[in-house]
Structure 1
Amino acid sequence: MRLFLLLPFVGLGLIDYSALTAAQPRCDPLTQYEKDGECCKKCGPGTRLSSGGSCLDPLCTECPDGDYQDAYTSSNSCQRQPYCDPNLDFNRVVNKSKKNRVACICKVGFHCSSKACLTCVAHTSCKPGHGAQSTGNHTHNTVCQKCTEGTFSKGDSWKGVCEKWTICADGYFVEQSGTDVSDNICAESLSHTITIAVVCFVGLLVITIAFFCLRKCKQGDKKGEVKKILMGCFESSSGDKGEPVKETKVLITNPTDQAEEESLMSELLSKEEAGVRTPEENEDELSLASPDLVLSEKGNFVTQENGKSTILSRQESQTQTFTN
């Protein structure tokens, strides 16, 4: 009795199993297709099915130009490649694949207007004082941001970034500070200019003095005065403005006796008080003496030249030469 009750369930199980077995495909869905209970071969990518072949050995032909087939197919036609219109700011496609769909690419500076990319639109241009945070490409637009402190941007650009202010070099200072739309303006330091001018002036002065001394030395070689010229050049370069040393030769003849000396002294004093110049004959007589010869109170001869005086002893009986 119990066995009789289980028979209907066993029968249902057999029916379900046979149904599942019949529903399972026997062909490879990627490379085969079923026809009249047989698994026929498909044509590979880039080709299409042509008439004249058999199920197990089909005749496949290449897709025509402008078409493509990106998978195995049992169809006798290929898919049409999209047309990338340059008038819609797409790049012109030269080499078209027959195995893959060619994607239309927007020109540089443009991006797709939508996910389907039916048209292209220009990237956003960043205004002065703003730079590109992210540069636009084929699928995305440019994102702009305001320049931060220490950076600037002058013009409109969809790919330009904010640049850093210029750092002035040594010897220069910031004459005008930069802004978000302008760079630092550097100017040359005044002290730097003065230093260059002083160095140039000193160099020119040294060259001039050296040229002058060399020329004088060449002239002095003929006269045996090289030493004097070199001394003069040294004094000129050191800034000594004093008068050069003069060589004064004084020829003095002592009186023969005390009476003649006193007579000459009294005569000179009397003429000096009277404001009368010494006669020419007396000048001839004292021509060997230095100019402005005067006797001191002690009886010594005194010579005066350019505000300087030299006392000569009466004991000197020979001609002497003095250099002041």
Structure 2
Amino acid sequence: MDSREGEGPQCLKTLKDVRRSHKRDVLQTPVSRCRMGTGTVHPEQATACKGNQYLSGSHCCDLCPPGKKLVNDCTGITETECSPCGAGEFLDTWNRESRCHQHKYCDPNLGLQVQGTGTSTTDATCICHEGQHCSSDACESCILHSPCAPGLGVKQLATGVSDTVCEPCPVGFFSKVSSALEKCHPWTSCDTKGLVELQAGTNKTDAVCGFRNRMRALVVIPITMGVLFAVLLLSACIRKVAKEPENKALHRKVGWQDPVETVYPDDFPGPHSIAPVQETLHGCQPVTQEDGKESRISVQERQ
């Protein structure tokens, strides 16, 4: 009885030493038994570790913080050994990784550009060039924004991670171009401008407006031009017909020959030494004929 009581404090002392050596590793270490007389303590295996710890053998080791990787696990006398990530590498969580992750590469050939430079604790971020968006959630490549065809308008603009959302233009609206930016436009209101609607709009074309007398002008102008042309043509015909009698009379006058009056010497009393005079009416003008010459003048000579 006395021997058991003498070994009791030794057993308790050994238990305290065990707990002291495992205070950072074991959340709870129940003693299975303490054999009296031997002073031997047998702790159970650790069943749970604290946050930011991991179980390695019978020890709870601290995880490496973000930006560092694991080099060596902890032991009963050493703590977890970690080292920083190298250039272009990162680890963004508490970990027990033996290698750091590489920063994402923003390939310009795939339409990507750097949005944020990576650090030892964060990855690099990429974004698509203007007018493009990511082809997937991972954003490993980019594609062009889809345009809305004529008759469709933009309901929601595309972003760096989503495509354009289109919608049909309702009645009273139109879109005549293919665009990834333009919404449907309302038809022009002719009444508010004091005009009349000459042509109704569609989902692809705007309404056509004009002046109130334009429709009348479109009808009156051709008729007026036709009447004016007919009047001019009739006037020309009348003038032509009126000139025909004058032309005929002129032809008759030209064809009529002037009479020729011949005066002989015997017709004059007195000596015949005076040279006979022949009066020839030529264009109503007297002509004197010399003596001894015939007093006939042909029509060709008079003309």
Per the shorter chain, which TM-score range?
Answer: 0.3 to 0.5
Select the structure that is richer in helix: 1
TM-score after normalising by structure 1: 0.44
TM-score after normalising by structure 2: 0.47
